[in-house]
Structure 1
Amino acid sequence: MENINLIITLAVMVFMMVSFVIQKWSFGLTAMTCIIALALTGVIDVKTAFSGFSNTTTILIATMMVIAGAIGKTSLIQRIRSVMAKAKGKSGVLLILLICAFTTLLTQLMGMTAVMAIMLMFVQTLDDDDASGISQSRMLFLCATMICTWFGRFPVGMGAALPLTTNAYYEGMVGGDTSQLLGIFDFLKVGLLPSIIGTVYCLFAWRLIPKQNLKTDAVDLGGAANQGGASTMSRTHEIIVYLGFLATIVAFFFSNQLGSYIYLIPAIIILVFIFTGVMTSREAIAGLTGDMIWMVAGILVFSAALNQSGAGEYIGNLVLKLLGENPSGLLVTIVFTVVATVMTNFMSNNGTVAILTPIAASTAIAGGMDPRAVVSLVSMASCLAIAFPTGCSAGTLAYAVGGFNPIKMLRFTLPYTLIMMISLIISANLFFPVYG
């Protein structure tokens, strides 16, 4: 019976991987289909199949998405754009520093597509004949690169939920051992130095980006283009959102003292938003039940099924055999960083993380390693999706609007990717030596 459950679980995992790659169905639909398949075949029971929705990780991620969405509708984003507009008459290093700084700031507050929509509106005001070499297309691609460089680094908005999302992919394999799970500041610890190094590279190497004519009709920005525009909120509502956001961030800093109450704080903030009219209950429910929530809830259960069926141990031992007897921790981190970086340039970030994290964790656990180093590398390497237009929404928009040739772009993107991978590997091994 155990062998049958192992085979079924592996078969379901293959389906999940293929579905994530071809992207014919949403990630959430795929994850829940896999869970239902495991329940129908008896690998897990019905109660376990739906336990992901009541998991505290899922709840925290869902509530943080709603709060981050509320911030994106305030006039804060408009004020940031106004400051950027004042800099459009400047040139040289100062302008580039401002572009990089504001892109980094916006990346902590809103999604990739919305940030690119805002920055596109700004870069279109730049002079394409600037004597310093600054052009619209170069700055647009620089913005996309900065988004990939700093995405999810700070525990702000969705950045606070990303480590928890990563944990959801493998926490069932470590039996609730919190010492082997990522904290909300771990991405900042591991990723800060690589992000700084990547930024320095961009500041000096942006001239390697070819000059192109922007094709603003090449992509439909949809509603994202309106994000960061004039706020429709009253001043009172904006103050409520800022205070709620601040209270949530402060709560994260005292997570050890608050214990399980940390999961209630964002939910309380959302209730305050609804009762004060900042958002309607329908808007809150829409944010709490998005496709990403389905995916997280499904992956949580699937990671537990990998452990219960023995599939996780089987996969880990298989990868260990491929790596050779007693592979060094450095080799393990290099392999998964390279694989994640290559994969994420041809498929989505979320798909790459969802596929590789359970495998990386299984490999680390089977080899007696600290899984945090490997899974953090998988998650952060999956953001380096700038070499091809299929990797992430920021890259897709930059390539579409700028009309860039991915092969010609390699003179900029290849050194960037190599520098980021090397610095990530070094940083992760400093903070989380895989053999302790």
Structure 2
Amino acid sequence: MELYITVAILAFMIIMFVLQKVPMGVTTMTCCTLLAAFGILTPSEAFSGFTNESIILVAPMMALSSAITKTSIIPSVRRKVDELGSKTGMALIVFFYIIVIAFVQFIPATATFSIMVVFLATLSDEGEVTPSRLLMPMLGISCIWKGYIPIGMGATNFATVNARYSNIITEEAYLLQMFDKFKVGALPVICLTIYCLIAWKLLPRKGNVSTKGLKDVKDTPTLPKAQETLVYVVFVAVMAVLVLNKWTGKLMYIAPAAGVLALIYGKALKVPEVTKAMTADMIFLMAGVLGVASAMTKSGAGDLIGTAILNVLGGHPSSMAVMFLFSAVCIGMTTVMSNSATQNILYTVAATVCLAGNWDPRGIMLIISIANVISLGFPSGAAETALIYAAGNYKVSQVAKFTIPYIIIAVVTIAVSANFFYPIYG
């Protein structure tokens, strides 16, 4: 009976992720509550995700990253954008791409494009480089670069992914390391960046770029010089501990918390700001998924699902075929539904399949991590995608000449790179 109850709760979680009627953290907390209520897990087991090392690392890192937005870096970059308004040609394109790459490491993509769209709307639509030709490629740059560089939240990406499957596949050798995504993502990042540098000409030259309906992005007051310096020092120190985790060991998991405390005592961060960042829906989502994963392992539901999917794939499928399958399915799903829903469904499914097949899960997990943000083919893929389609007055058919080749390149390069570094048969 426990097995069927667990499968039913998992199905409920997946359906709620697709429908998104409530925040995803609420869904996972509901699942944990049900698992405890039905006796599948004890209350302490159901909510043990909150004490997981990955949560301890990620939650304060979110607060630490928010401190960067209070420094003079963001206003300085925005002023530079204004100064380059009169420039044209490839120099302008490259500069815009660099700004997007920098911004999406620290602030949400929707906020990034709220800033960039307002500026682009003032540019002329005469000549080769026009606003309607820049908007979609900038989204393409954002998709592939978001979380790629291991700084800011990108530095904890490996821990976030590990948290999604470590309760199903417990062998430590199969956990991701800090630079694994950077390594596997290099090929798709390079290929898609080159594509965006060339293929912007495929988009219509003239169009009406609109700022109507965009939320105003208010400038965050810049910290005093002393506090700003403290933010830089703390951020660099924490990043050093993360990068040198081979030597710093378990200190890696408490470094962000120590950094946040230093910023609170130094008056660079206020307690309400920290509380808001550390209680984001993402934290409840991650902790809840860990509880559901524990129940799947304990009840045998994970083995049941994994074996069923493995039977569909065949007894001994080609490693490359499996990589292509997950890459294509992930990008296909995230094109029409949210990034979060896509990854939260696929991480659990992929982990159970890998466990049943006795596969190395790292390549597949990295495929999901990289591919789930390739969401530029349809407006429903992500909030920033909807923003770009609305601001550029784009029709799906109108931009298909750009988006379809982008998606094909992404599917192929992500699968090939993941299979090269982490084939499922080791």
Task: Report if aligned partners of 2:147, 2:157 keep a CA contact under 8 Å in 1.
Answer: yes
Name which of 324, 333, 347 aligns with 1:343: 333
Is 1:366 the equivalent of 2:356? yes
Aligned residue identity for 1:318: A
1:282-339 alpha-carbon deviations (Å, 9 max, x no partner): 2211111111110011011111211111111111111111112211111111111111
Is 1:319 the equivalent of 2:309? yes
Percentage of pairs with the same residue:
37
Q: Tell me the equivalent position of 2:190.
A: 196
Gap runs ≥5 in structure 1: none
Q: Tell me the equivalent position of 2:156.
A: 161
1:183-236 alpha-carbon deviations (Å, 9 max, x no partner): 12111001112111001011111122234201211x3325xx12xx36431111
State the number of aligned residues: 425
Separation in structure 2 between the aligned mates of residue 309 and residue 163 of structure 1, nearest angstrom: 27
Q: Tell me the equivalent position of 2:142.
A: 147
1:231-267 alpha-carbon deviations (Å, 9 max, x no partner): 4311111111111111111111111211111111110
Q: Tell me the equivalent position of 1:186.
A: 180
Range moving further from structure 2, 80-89 or 239-248: 80-89
Separation in structure 2 between the aligned mates of residue 187 and residue 59 of structure 1, nearest angstrom: 21
1:376-414 alpha-carbon deviations (Å, 9 max, x no partner): 101211010000111112211101111111122211101
Deviation >4 Å, runs of 4+ = none
Q: Tell me the equivalent position of 1:172.
A: 167
Is 1:24 the equivalent of 2:18? no
Task: Report if aligned partners of 1:215, 1:403 keep a CA contact under 8 Å in 2.
Answer: yes
TM-score normalised by the chain length of structure 2: 0.97
Aligned residue identity for 1:13: L
Q: Tell me the equivalent position of 2:407.
A: 417
Separation in structure 2 between the aligned mates of residue 189 and residue 5 of structure 1, nearest angstrom: 41
**1:246-265 → structure 2 map (5 Å cutoff):** 246-265=236-255
TM-score normalised by the chain length of structure 1: 0.95
Separation in structure 2 between the aligned mates of residue 84 and residue 192 of structure 1, nearest angstrom: 27
Q: Tell me the equivalent position of 1:214.
A: 209
Q: Tell me the equivalent position of 1:13.
A: 10
Separation in structure 2 between the aligned mates of residue 207 and residue 143 of structure 1, nearest angstrom: 13
Separation in structure 2 between the aligned mates of residue 181 and residue 230 of structure 1, nearest angstrom: 38
Q: Tell me the equivalent position of 1:54.
A: 51
Name which of 271, 280, 283 aligns with 1:293: 283
Task: Report if aligned partners of 2:377, 2:400 keep a CA contact under 8 Å in 1.
Answer: yes
Aligned residue identity for 1:11: A
Name the Cα RMSD after superposition: 1.3
Is 1:138 the equivalent of 2:128? no
**1:273-288 → structure 2 map (5 Å cutoff):** 273-288=263-278
Separation in structure 1 between the aligned mates of residue 30 and residue 210 of structure 2, nearest angstrom: 39
Shift of 1:112: 1.0
Separation in structure 2 between the aligned mates of residue 250 and residue 114 of structure 1, nearest angstrom: 28
Task: Report if aligned partners of 1:137, 1:214 keep a CA contact under 8 Å in 2.
Answer: yes
Task: Report if aligned partners of 1:152, 1:187 keep a CA contact under 8 Å in 2.
Answer: no
Separation in structure 1 between the aligned mates of residue 215 and residue 304 of structure 2, nearest angstrom: 44
